Structure 1
Amino acid sequence: MDDEQRYRAVHGRDSRFDGMFYTAVRTTGVYCRPSCPARTPQRRNVDFYPTAAAAQEAGFRACKRCRPELTPGSPEWNIRADVVGRAMRLIQDGAVDRGGVGELASSVGYSERQLNRLLTAELGAGPLALARTERARTARTLVETTDMPMTDIAFAAGFASVRQFNETMRAMFDRAPTEMRGRAVRPGSDTITLRLAYRQPFDLDRLLEFLGARAVPGVEEYAGGVYRRTLRLPHGPGIAELSAGRGHVLCRLRLADTRDLTGAVRRCRRLLDLDADPQAVAETFAGDPLLGPTAARLPGLRSPGHPDPAELAVRAVLGQQVSVAAARTLAGRLVGAYGEPLAPELRTGGLTHLFPAPEALAAVPPGELPLTRARSATLTGLAAALASGRVDLGPGCDRDEAQVRLRELRGIGPWTASYVRMRGLGDPDVFLGTDLGVRKALAGTPDDRAWSPWRSYATHLLWASL
């Protein structure tokens, strides 16, 4: 889009562009989302920025009316495979907070100087500014929706000090954290409760049912419209509970270490595909004779991801050539034998374990696994490759390379590698053409290139049509 197209979107208050760019008004010093309900500013007073961090670096404050810092992330990062897209996914996952810019640059294969130049040239802000914006978003949500002490919030959001936390919040929102809390309604619970934003429409019930049908005993459970699961996080385990709120997803987190808050939120967003643009997907399929009717009948259908790509890869191997129910049973046996038990204070309901780590599975003699000899060899080979780093499935990985490395492993074919890429790596453009259900739903052999870059959604629409 050029600036004139962006201004037309702002004039039309088109919410489909929220999160894709930001409008900064020079006369007020405020930046907004495109759908802001305030009076449209004159074109000569408006600048556009690709990220909230770029607007803040230019000296603008977040609008108190439309609250642009709460918009879902740009779907562009789900599609892009270049170094900027990979770096953005890592930053959103908290990589800068955990290891600094040096580790971020190393993860994408660039020097700190090169990465800073790339991000600044394309996004208007460097990695530190982008990470600071993510911290501020997390901190504001915690201030307004929890009873956590301000000191705990500062460190949970990734700030190095309380002073840095206070200064950043004032600079970005023109209010002190205590002023924000004074206007908020708090749930009065030791559980961290968050509101996760998304773009309408959203068929959350269908997505949670999809996850519930595949829930692994001990690791996941689904009942009464509420999905819960354990999370393996950098500083310790956690539990996430996801359910429908009023215009948002209600997310309740219990964490062994609050420093993992940002990473836990990103994993939940990835699991529910909350950064998708359903309007763009619907427009792609609207005139398609095969997918159009199903897409119209199921508005807001998402392509669910997964919070732990390594776990998803192991489960994909377990699911080869067996039913969903059989795959659940096999995974449950694996969890019972090799999963990591949760501390008693974290256990809730049927959630008792973390899914076995690749290192633990790699150390198991293949003959001891509750699988056939060939499947056991495939699983231990995959676990060893993940544990050694030979196969990288992290948020900043190169998806093409990851898929090639998976295909190099014995016993992993096109379906398994593509399924891991679609759900584990969150790629929106994967078509499972060899899947039995997809073949059953297809009438003939269509040209799936017409469905790009949303072929993952085409796969889910075909499954849903059955």
Structure 2
Amino acid sequence: MDDTPTPLDDSRYQAVSSRDARFDGEFFFGVASTGIYCRPSCPAVTPKRVNVSFHPSAAAAQGAGFRACRRCRPDAVPGSAEWNVRADLVGRAMRLIGDGVVDREGVGGLADRLGYSARQVHRQLTEELGAGPVALARAQRAHTARILLTTTSLPVTEIAFAAGFKSVRQFNDTVREIYACTPTALRGRAPGHRGRPAPTAAGIPLRLAHRGPYAAREIFDHLQRGAVPGVEETRGAPGARRYRRTLRLPYGTAVAEVREPAPAHRGHWLDCRLHLSDPRDLSTAVQRMRRLFDLDADPYAVADRLRADPLLRPLVDARPGLRSPGAADGDELAVRAVLARGRSAEAAAELAGGLVTAYGKPLAAPDGALTHVFPDADTLAGAALDDIPAAPRRTLRALTTALADGTVHLDPGADRDSAERALLALPGIDARTAGHIRMRALADPDVFPAEETGIPAEDTAAWRPWRSYALHHLRLRTAEPRTDAPKDA
């Protein structure tokens, strides 16, 4: 361990000393005297500075020989907001690793998607995060394994392969190394581990962590207005809603349910339950729901920047923790964006529902109002689309063909500038539609269509890189003022 203090490390140690949850997921700290690593907000007694080392990722801490703290569960923190902001190789790589690409396609597949050599990808990730793609994916597999061990009764052998491990031995060794116990012992520590149902019966319960305040009402309102019949539904009254939707995943399908927290809720998480047809899709499903609900955002950084502008200050104060909704599926979002041009959210959802009925893949069994997964680009590219009006039909056919043949990429690691240029080259897609797709499908936090607000782009430079959040605040400025604005715990 390097004992030479730096100004950055001193500020990190201050965050640890004050148990500042704002930095959870931004860095981790290892304690040489105990051999464990923690999140900054760990409630344990603050270790002496001489015993503390700082690590940019959980994988780096594990690679340095530290095991996960049982008290603060450092593997269950929000992801770093930096990966949403950054559009470079490292940011794109982290989003793809989170989506499970390394487990499914290997480092070579990751490198191919990024357009770099495997050696370049490994070098840059190691330089910035202290761990290469294999180690980063291994840390994610361990987290997935812990969730399955502690929330389901799946046999340990099945969990090993569902979490992405290649062998039971590799699984056992990793769990022992990271959690300092066997998989069976880790399961035995979980409350109520006896008689726990398998995920096919009751789903997998999760807490999706976020940092800072979270304006839940606004994002649930947004999702409810545009819910596509057969694919999405919202149950319950505001303040106690359940948003439910189907997911198309690499190995199967899923139904995800996220509960709207009550206004008095003080925790930094959203309750979620996943019903998976194949447990191997767990980590991918989690990441896609996190992107949809923008759970890795840094509301403190957003507020600090936007509040400096007199126009935005009262809006930010009225809705602390306002998020910029992403997408559970980039291709689906793009199709819906084309259908939404010139229509209300409800009318666009009804039109999309017709596509679902005609071309979507049915679930094995309906789940409430959920009956299908949204049709994929390959299916729509070859479809007649007779029920779609002529103008959007031409654009929709061009878009789905481009998605199907790879002319346009909207996966989590897509290059945002390249994707936007490719979208603008398609007939019928204007700058506003391309920007909407970039903001939501590619989770770009810095999109601002000047034509929508009448504010020239040059006047918004001081809002960067958070102009997507400014846009959502401006859209809501004529809405009913909040009387139950969420406060940070």
TM-score normalised by length of structure 2: 0.90
Q: Equivalents in 2 of 1:64, 1:255: separation in Å?
A: 27
Select which of 293, 306, 329 maps to 2:314.
293
Aligned residue number for residue 303 of structure 1:
324
Give the Cα–Cα distance (whole angstroms) in 2 for the partners of residues 292 and 157 of structure 1.
44
Give a deviation string over 1:391-436, Cα, whole Å, max 9, x none. Answer: 011111101100110011010011111000111111111113222x
Contact 2:450 2:457 in 1 (8 A): no
- Find the partner of 2:248 among 213, 218, 232: 232
Residue correspondences, number: 457
- What is residue 5 of structure 1 aligned with on the other side? 11
Of residues 110, 114, 124, the one that matches 1:104 is 110
The farther-off stretch of 140-149 and 273-282 is 140-149
Of 446, 457, 462 in structure 1, the residue corresponding to residue 474 of structure 2 is 462
**Alignment match, 2:380:** 361
Deviations 1:42-66 (A, max 9, x none): 2222211110100110101112222
CA-to-aligned-CA distance 1:12-43 (integer Å, 9 cap, x gap)? 22111111111112222111111222222222
Asked whether the 8 Å contact 2:233–2:244 carries over to 1, the reply is yes
Hey, what's the Cα distance between the residues in 1 that align with 2:419 and 2:115?
15
Match of 1:449 in 2: 461
Distance 1:195 1:164, change over 3 A: same
Aligned to 2:38: 32
Letter in 2 for 1:320: R
- Looking at structure 1, the residues matched to 22 and 84 of structure 2 have their Cα atoms a distance apart, in angstroms, of 16
- Higher deviation after alignment, 4-13 or 84-93: 4-13
Q: Secondary structure at the match of 1:274?
A: coil
CA distance 1:244–1:169, shift in 2 (3 Å): farther
Secondary structure of 1:352's counterpart equals strand
- Displacement, 1:149? 2.2
Aligned residues of 1:142 and 1:194 also touching (Cα < 8 A): no
Q: Which residue of 1 aligns with 2:436?
A: 419
Residue aligning to 2:483: none
Cα distance in 2, alignment partners of residues 261 and 156 from structure 1 = 8
**Matching residue within 324, 349, 361 for 1:340:** 361
Q: Deviations over 1:80-126 (max 9, x none)?
A: 11111111111111001101111111111122222111111111111
Measured in 1, the distance between the counterparts of 2:362 and 2:42 equals 47
- Name the amino acid aligned to 1:337: A
Opposite residue 212 of structure 1, the aligned amino acid is Q
118-127 vs 241-250, greater mean Cα deviation: 241-250
Which amino acid in structure 2 is aligned with residue 131 of structure 1? A
User: Does the 8 Å CA contact 1:101/1:127 hold for their aligned counterparts?
Assistant: yes
Please say if residues 235 and 257 of structure 1, whose CA atoms lie closer than 8 Å, have aligned partners that are also in contact.
yes
Distance in 1 (CA, whole Å) between partners of 2:287 and 2:102 is: 14
* Aligned-partner SS, 1:147: coil
In the alignment, which residue of structure 2 is the partner of 1:432?
449
**Could you give the per-residue CA deviations for residues 314-342 of structure 1, whole angstroms, max 9, x where no partner exists?**
10000011111211111111111222222
Q: 2:203 matched to 1:194?
A: no
In the alignment, the residues of structure 2 paired with residue 102 and residue 287 of structure 1 have an alpha-carbon distance, to the nearest angstrom, of 44
**2:220 touches 2:260 (CA, 8 Å); kept in 1?**
no
Matches within 5 A, 1:400-419: 400-419=417-436
Q: Distance in 2 between matches of 1:41 and 1:342?
A: 51
Distance of 1:212 and 1:156 partners within structure 2: 32
What are the superposed Cα offsets for residues 285-344 of structure 1, whole Å, 9 maximum, x if unpaired? 223221111211111211111111101001000001111121111111111122222212
> 1:207-260: CA deviations, max 9, x gaps?
122101100001100111001111111112211111146622222112222211
Q: Deviations over 1:330-382 (max 9, x none)?
A: 111111122222212xx2011111111111111124xx432332221111000
Distance 1:200 1:148 in 2: 34
Question: Match of 1:62?
Answer: 68
Aligned partner of residue 353 in structure 1, secondary structure: strand
Match of 1:386 in 2: 403
Structure 2 Cα separation of the partners of residues 445 and 387 of structure 1: 33
- Distance of 2:335 and 2:229 partners within structure 1: 15
**Higher deviation after alignment, 293-302 or 200-209:** 200-209
Q: Which of these residues, 28, 31, 54, is aligned with residue 48 of structure 1?
A: 54
Q: In 2, Cα distance between the equivalents of 1:454 and 1:193?
A: 32
**Residue 160 of structure 1, CA deviation:** 1.3
Q: 1:141 aligned to 2:157?
A: no
Give, in angstroms, the shift of residue 173 of structure 1: 1.3
Tell me which of 273, 295, 298 is aligned to 1:274.
Answer: 295
- The aligned residue for residue 484 of structure 2 is none
- The AA in structure 2 aligned to 1:193 is P
Shift of 1:204: 2.0
1:179 aligns with 2:185: yes
Deviates most, 242-251 or 231-240: 242-251
Preserved CA contact (<8 Å) 1:145 1:185: no
Q: Which residue is 2:174 aligned to?
A: 168
- Contact 1:72 1:197 (C-alpha < 8 Å) held by counterparts: yes
Which residue number corresponds to residue 316 of structure 1?
337
Alpha-carbon distance in 2 for matches of 1:299, 1:5: 25
Counterparts of 1:324 and 1:143, CA distance in 2: 41
CA distance in 1, matches of 2:245, 2:232: 4
For 2:88 and 2:234, the matched residues in 1 are separated by 36
Q: TM-score, normalised by structure 1?
A: 0.94
Q: Is 1:372 paired with 2:389?
A: yes
Query: Which letter maps to 2:394?
Result: A
Contact 1:316 1:416 in 2 (8 A): yes
Q: Deviation digits for residues 184-206 of structure 1, max 9, x if unmatched? A: 23563621222211112112232
SS of residue in 1 equivalent to 2:367: coil
In the TM superposition, what is the alpha-carbon distance from 1:453 to its structure 2 partner? Answer: 1.1
What is the alpha-carbon distance in structure 2 between the residues aligned to residue 383 and residue 253 of structure 1?
28
User: What is the CA distance between 1:446 and its match in structure 2?
Assistant: 7.5
1:351 aligned to 339, 359, 370, which one? Answer: 370
